[in-house]
Structures are given as C-alpha cells and as structure tokens.
Structure 1
Amino acid sequence: MPRRHLNLRTAGTALIDSELVAVRERMEIPEGWSPEVLAEVEQAARTPRPPLHDATALPLFTVDPPDSRDLDQAMHLERRGSGYRVYYAIADVGAFVRPGGAIDAEARRRVETLYFPDVRVPLHPPQLSEGTASLLPGQDVPALLWQLDLDADGVLLCTDLRRALVRSRRKLDYAGVQHAIDSGTADEALALLGVIGPLREEREQDRGGISLPIPEQEIEPVDGGYALSYRAPRPADGWNAQISLLTGMAAAEMMLDGAVGLLRTLPAAPRSAQDRLRRTAAALGVDWPAGLPYPQLIRSLNPELPAHAAFLNECTGLLRGAGYTAFDGSVPPEPGHAAVAAPYAHCTAPLRRLADRFAGEVCAALAAGEPVPDWVRAALPEIPKLMETGDRRAHEVERASVDLVEAELLRGREGEVFDGVVVDVDERKQLTGTVQLRDPAVRARLTDDRPGALALPLGTHLRVRLTIVEPGSGTVRFAPA
C-alpha cells in the first residue's frame, strides 16, 4: 500500500526483534514445517490437480505491494458492448492441498498468514504460497477464474466460474497503477480499472455501503530499523478493492442460491449505537442533517480534519461484530454484511486466509453443477470458529508489533511534549481516551489526572506529555500538558 511518511526517526531492530521472538513464543506462533508437510508440498508442487480449461491466453495482471510474492488475484478488464467484462483469477489452492492431508491440517492450525515487522508467518509453505500456487508473472498456475459481466453503470449482469490454467503477464504495484492511469499511459485493460472501480464505488453508495477512510498505522523497515507511518491509500487501492468486493458479492449470491456455503457477515448496528454516534457528531460540530444517510455523511468527511478524524474513529463501533456464517441446506436468516450492504463472502485470498479456500470450493462445485464435496460440507461448521480464533490472533500480533515499535521510538523521551488529536474518549471514564500524534505516528492511551478536570476534549488538538514508556511490554501513556 502507498505510504505517507510522517516519521524519520527509526527504532533499532536488535531489541525489537528479540522482543518479537518473545511475543511469538508467548502466543505459540508456529515456526517451520513438519517433514510430513514438506513432503506433501514437494509432491503437490510436481503434480497439482490439472484444470480442464486453458485460459493462459488471457493477459492477466496483478496489483500488489512491490515486495509481495503470495499473489492471490490477477485480473483482466475489457469492454463488452456498452458494458464491461471482468476476468478475476484466484489462486486455486485446492489444486495443491489434499483434503485431510498434512498441508490441510497445518492450514487449519494456522488459519491465516501473520505479519510481524521482522518475519511473515505464512498460512501455507512458501514453496506453494510464494511459488507454484502464486499468480506470479510468467508461470502457468491453476486458478478459479471468475467472469463477471457488468452493464454500462457497473451493475453485475451475470457470473461464470471455472477452474482454469492461467498465466499472469505483469506484476504491478499501487503507485505504478495510479501513475499510469493518472498520466494516461495505461493500456486499455489497466485504464479500465479507473473506469470500473469508480462505477462500483457509485453502486456501493447506492446500496448504502461504507468504507471508513481512517489513517492506519504501519510499520516499515527503514535504514536498519523500524519506523511508523500512517497509511494513505490512493484511489487505485479502492478501485482494486472494488473488484475483490464484486467477486465476493457474486460468490455470496451463488452460495445463497445453492443453499450451501460460507459468508462473511456483519449485523446492522443497534439503534443505541447510531444514536450515540449522532450525539458524538453534535459534540464534535460535525454537521449531520436529519435526512442525510450515514454512508453519505462518511463520504463527505475529511480525515485530515481533527474533528472528522475523531468522528470516523468513533464510527468503527458500528462495524464491530463481523464474523463468518456457515450454512448447508437452508439460507441463514440474516446473510448480509452491514458495511458492504449486501451478502458477501471472503473468497479472493486463499493463499493467506483459510476460509477463502472453502468458499472457493463451494462456488466451483455450484458453478459446475456438481455436488459440493463431502469433505467441504463436513468442514464448513468448524470454519467460523477457526476464523474467529485466527482473526483475534492476527489482531493481537498487529497490536503487539505496533506497541513495541511505538515504545522503542519513544524510549528515553519521558517528559517531552507532543502535538496530538484526541480521537477517542471512554464513554464511562471521560478522563481516559486515545491520542493520535502526528509525528511520530503513534496512537496511545491518554489520561487526565489533573485536579478539577472534567472530560477529555474529543476531536480537538491537544498538547500532551509522555509520562510512561515501557519498551519491554510496549506500554506508552500520555497526559495533557
């Protein structure tokens, strides 16, 4: 993802790396691969399940961070009369993984790829995820090839899916894609990403879907150390995400029609949460007219403004509670995803996320008019619980990693004063909340213990003093200056 650097001071790697090792030991993160897994990988790499359809003539391209090698998706876009056709190839992990085998068992234990600043702990052995199963340019790879036909407004008209052999031609990154489209140097297939992506964003707005443009912290290696920055996505990131969302929505509809599958679901927020958000908007001075729908309000906000940034941070409360819903034989009563504003499935990242392989297997069978394999049906009920555990572990890894880098960046700076914005206030303890510094890119707990203090000023600039730094535990605390 593109980045906007906000901090040039780096934290040394030696101490952080040793602390990261301790984090992995404490969380019992797996290291290495068993001989059984490696033997199965070697065999699978030599003899994957061959697809019946040859689509190697399609000039597919991938869009990923520059250093990525576990490439799940590749696309080709073209005009179709007054509308468009999207080809979206998803790595067919099922062509390499034997049901009930060693790789399958290990993947169910790992659940998803984990990202530490110093190492990546992959879901599948790198020989597969970064080698023979990855959609790297120039190699023939089994894939689940989606064909999605859209009308002139970007509305999905029909869907086709088949197992196919594909060959990506180009490995592109977000910055290069954005530059090529903006400068007019993109070829037609790539230029269409800048047409179809915005159309799908308009359709998302029509549905009432939302994406929160909140700056996210990101750790990156710089000059032999680690630095923190806030991630600033380019428009091309959103366009690329819309192709994935389109596919996930098509997969969900296919599974609902077949009454079997695995959905990514999110219930609508309770009325009390929405009422609280309206009170927060009023307190921050965010204009929210009575008749303006919530998604339209979100699109009108500027995360660079402190009050808007604080409000967007509070909006994340409406998106909590996402999970996975498995079903077989009857459609779930509430199959929708509130943020997508439609039924939706995770199916486009099978190299990095366990659930996607099973969703892909269901869709491949349904599209071919075949019964969903018994081993898939048997596994579906356990996948939601496995994914819940995996998602929680991934969040813990991300938070622990950021905490360690924050603490190391601030080591020895106790008593210094920084400029920040109060982006969250505890509703029950009005003197406790979260402050977001601009430089360094830190978000940390803020507590006001001053006599007579009433409440932290949500959504306003505040000078804060660093009071506690504990690099070993990653603890950082601030107080109003």
Structure 2
Amino acid sequence: MIRTHASGGDFGRLRAQFGLPDSFGPDVLAEAEAAVLDPLVSAGGREDATGLPFVTIDPPGSKDLDQAMLIERTAGGFRVHYAIADLAAFVPPGGALDREARRRGQTLYLPDGNVPLHPPVLSEDAASLLPGEVRPAVLWTIDVGEDGELAATRVRRALVRSTEQLDYDGVQAALDAGRPHPSVAALPELGRLRRELAVRRGAVELQLPEQEITGDADGGWVLARRPRTAVDAWNAEISLLTGMAAARIMIEAGVGVLRTLPPPDPEAVQRLRRAAVAAGLDWPSALGVSEFLSTLDPGQPASMALFADTTRLLRGAGYTAFDGELPEVLTHGGIGGPYAHATAPIRRLVDRFAAEVCLAVTAGREVPSWVREALAEVPAQMSASDGLAARVERACLDQVEAWVLAERVGQEFTAVVLRAEETKAEILLEDPPVMARCSGTRFPEGERITVRLTEVDVDHRKVSFERV
C-alpha cells in the first residue's frame, strides 16, 4: 500500500458546496429515540438465531454494521447464513425517519465524518449488528451446491448476535496463516467458486486500485492506494449471492426493485479489444470480456489502462421497479444476471424495500401497500443520491490530492497512462497515488511516462500536469 501524508484543513467548504446536512431535525431524532425504546421487533414474529456464531467483516472502526455472516460446509455444498440489519423494525412507514431517509437516499462518506442515512442512535447503535448485542435482523439462509450455484433460499425475521467484529486485513492475515475464524473458514472455497461462476456469467470486475483517505494523529490526511485483497472479493461475492437470490424472488413474484445495467454495446467491446491490442495485451478471440479480464495482472500498467477503458462498458446503471408486468431489462450487465440491492439497509434506502418484498413473498403474504407505493419513487431517489455520492467522493479525493501536491509544483513524477485523447490523458501517479488529467501529445496508454506538476489550486481542488 502506497501512503502519502498531507497537511490540510477540514471539509467544511466542500460540505457547504454540496449542501450536505450536518444534523437531523428534532422530529426525526425524537422518532429514532422512541424506536430504540420500542422497536417493531414483533412484526411478523422472529426466530431466535442468537445461537449462530455470526461475525462481521468491515473496515476497522466501522460502527454502521449492516451484515453478519456464518458459512458452513455441508454434505452437498455450502450453507450461508447472512444476517442483514432490519431497519424496518425502527422506521415506521410514512413517519419522520422514513421521509428523511427517502430525502437522503444513502450514507455519504467523507474523511472527516459521514453524513448518515439514519440517525447514529440507530445506524451506529440500536440497528447495527455490533458484536455481543442481540439485534433484529432479516436472516437469509442460502444453500449453495458443490458447483457454487444457488440451490435454495429462506428469508425470515430473526434475532441475532454477532460474536466478533473482524476487518478485511485481519481476516486475510488469519487465512494466510492457516488460522481462519471458524465462522468464515469456508469463505475462500465458496468465494473462489462464486468468482469462477461470475466469470462464466460474463461479470465484469474492474481491479483498479482504490484511492483511500484516512486521518492521522497530527490532524493531517493520509492518501493511500489500497490494492483489493482476496477477502475483499470473496466477501463481496456473499453479498452478490444474496442480491441475486433477492432478485430471483422478486422476478418470480412480479414485484420488486432491481439494480440494472444494459448489456455492453458490441461496438464498445470491439473498441476495448482494439485498446488491448494497442496496449500489447494478447486477447484470444475465443475469450469474452470477463474471461479475458480475469487473466490480467491488476498491478501491471497495461492492465490498469484496460480496466480504466472497461468502465465505458458499464454505463447506464439504474434502478428498475416493477409491480405486475416485468420490465424489458432485468439483468445487470456488470454482474451477468439479475441482481438487487438487499444487504445494506443502514447505508442505502432501497435495501429496506427490497427486504420487505422478499420477506412477504417467501412467507406467502401480500407485499405491504406502503412498500408497493414506495417502489415507484425509489429508483429516482436512489439515482439522485448515487450521483451526489459519486461527486462528493471525487471532490474529497481532489481536495486531498491538492493538499498533498500543494508544495510540489515544478516537480516531476512517474505516472501510468490510463486513458488518452489527442492532447490530454487521464494518469495515475505511482507516488503519491494521485489520479489526474495531464496535457501533452502522443500518450501511450498502459505505459509509464514522466510528468511535471505545473499548477495546484487548493481552493478549487485542481491540479495540472504536463508530459515531460
């Protein structure tokens, strides 16, 4: 992991620019406090699953814990117990909490603190699957065959208790040392099977390194490039498995809300093939996009450039709600099948409604009227919040990059060319891990070049480079 320290201020100006709320209204807070004292845990009855040794896997220090898992090896394959925080136990339909959550759409994460979807008394306490605490949950039990394919799904309300809060690096280190936590000892085997199936489905995984911002003890900021670990990928596969199970339930019932993405345009795929040839990558004609990408080393410059180009195949994502007639597009082109957001209701609005649909359908009950009424509005609410989240994340990175580089104008750096046009390119500096635009000509995509920092505008969060 490459880490670079930066001095700098807070993100107050950025928060003001985007109009981000700094608190909740008194009516919302009052309703949240009342819900903590008297949650709707009895709605529909609850199974006592507190004896199952669930664990959570999240970044260190996380408090808004949506998911807890237990994976068991069975005679016929695997059994995944996946507990999802039950926000409907705390959010009365049509109340102040519900209205505010619909307005916000999702939690926004900034380096100096998040803008939560729900008040912290819920998101970081009463609704969060914190270790040692009994919590209401939507419990998914998913049976998977030896081939990794989904075999059966059961969904119900339950009471659960997580036994331990784990983090990605810790789980990876324990697995590497041959001492995995018993609750996730089967994760590598199942995760690999699901990844193989994803490749065969045509799922597109972009293994670009993630930029990450953390604070330090001196009040500054640390900019890092964090490579994705195997545990990151395997953990994501459990969430994807659950989302695909949820999509199947909703499609069969003819009611629900899916995360959709049109299939890649054939011409865009041909452009990507030409880009691979230009980068010196051997792409056999018999391999599809997913199969070819799975063969690449994400640490190589040419691979990084092609992953950046592949983002052009993943345009047009949205949310598709239906109640009766099925929509024309049911699948997510990046996942290679039908998929729904259903595993992060503390942090994302749509997941609460997806859970309610699945609970009702699998119990043979009518989907609640308040859920059906919400389905018509949720896609627009989520699309708006997705757009805001992306802009805020990019602005935070731009700000820290400007702070990192503020005193280095005139210096030269080594960078990888990710995407190139006639007179400019998108580049990734190797150290510090900055992604920026660069002016010049004849940029070789997927190769290292030398660039010079020509300008830094901290107030406007802009940095400028030119090719040497």
Judge same fold: TM > 0.5, yes or no.
yes
SS in 1 for 2:278: helix
Aligned to 1:34: 25
Letter in 2 for 1:185: R
Superposed CA offset, 1:57-84 (max 9, x none): 1111111111001000001111222311
| Matching of residue 472 in structure 1 with residue 467 in structure 2 | no
Superposed CA offset, 1:130-172 (max 9, x none): 0000000111111100010111122111110001111111111
| Matching of residue 413 in structure 1 with residue 408 in structure 2 | yes
Alignment partners' CA distance in 1, 2:237 and 2:3: 31
Instruction: Report the number of matched residues.
Output: 464
| Matching of residue 7 in structure 1 with residue 3 in structure 2 | yes
Counting only pairs closer than 5 Å after superposition, residues 332-371 of structure 1 correspond to structure 2 as 332-371=327-366
Letter in 1 for 2:38: T
SS in 1 for 2:112: coil
Alignment partners' CA distance in 1, 2:410 and 2:232: 39
Letter in 1 for 2:428: Q
Specify which of 86, 96, 99 is matched with residue 102 of structure 1.
96
Alignment partners' CA distance in 2, 1:279 and 1:86: 41
| Matching of residue 444 in structure 1 with residue 436 in structure 2 | yes
1:458 Cα deviation (Å)? Answer: 1.5
Specify which of 324, 327, 334 is matched with residue 329 of structure 1.
324
In structure 1, runs of 5+ residues without a counterpart are: none
RMSD (Å), alpha carbons? 1.1
Aligned to 1:300: 295
Specify which of 85, 90, 109 is matched with residue 91 of structure 1.
85
Aligned to 1:402: 397
Q: Among the aligned pairs, what percent are the same residue?
A: 49
1:187 Cα deviation (Å)? Answer: 4.3
Alignment partners' CA distance in 1, 2:8 and 2:164: 34
Counting only pairs closer than 5 Å after superposition, residues 61-460 of structure 1 correspond to structure 2 as 61-224=55-218, 225-426=220-421, 430-448=422-440, 453=441, 455-460=442-447
The range that moved more, 132-141 or 214-223, is 214-223
Superposed CA offset, 1:275-297 (max 9, x none): 11111111111111111111111
Superposed CA offset, 1:304-340 (max 9, x none): 2111111111011111211100000111122001111
Contact 1:74 1:88 in 2 (8 A): yes
Alignment partners' CA distance in 1, 2:450 and 2:58: 38
Specify which of 49, 57, 63 is matched with residue 55 of structure 1.
49
Superposed CA offset, 1:247-282 (max 9, x none): 000000000011000000010111221111111111
Contact 2:54 2:162 in 1 (8 A): yes
1:206 Cα deviation (Å)? Answer: 2.2
SS in 1 for 2:195: helix
1:186 Cα deviation (Å)? Answer: 2.0
Alignment partners' CA distance in 1, 2:211 and 2:183: 32
Superposed CA offset, 1:89-124 (max 9, x none): 000000100111011111111111111111111100
Letter in 2 for 1:34: G
Contact 2:8 2:403 in 1 (8 A): no
Contact 1:263 1:343 in 2 (8 A): yes
Contact 2:200 2:290 in 1 (8 A): no
Alignment partners' CA distance in 2, 1:223 and 1:442: 22
Contact 2:305 2:417 in 1 (8 A): yes
SS in 2 for 1:68: coil
Letter in 1 for 2:427: V
Alignment partners' CA distance in 2, 1:458 and 1:286: 12
1:412 Cα deviation (Å)? Answer: 2.7
Alignment partners' CA distance in 1, 2:431 and 2:34: 50
The range that moved more, 166-175 or 188-197, is 188-197
The range that moved more, 215-224 or 166-175, is 215-224
Normalising by structure 2, we get a TM-score of 0.97
Letter in 2 for 1:105: R
Contact 1:467 1:477 in 2 (8 A): yes
Normalising by structure 1, we get a TM-score of 0.95
Alignment partners' CA distance in 2, 1:114 and 1:125: 13
SS in 1 for 2:409: coil
Superposed CA offset, 1:334-354 (max 9, x none): 200111111000010000001
Contact 1:30 1:110 in 2 (8 A): no
Contact 1:83 1:149 in 2 (8 A): yes
Contact 1:181 1:190 in 2 (8 A): no
In structure 2, runs of 5+ residues without a counterpart are: none
Aligned to 2:450: 463
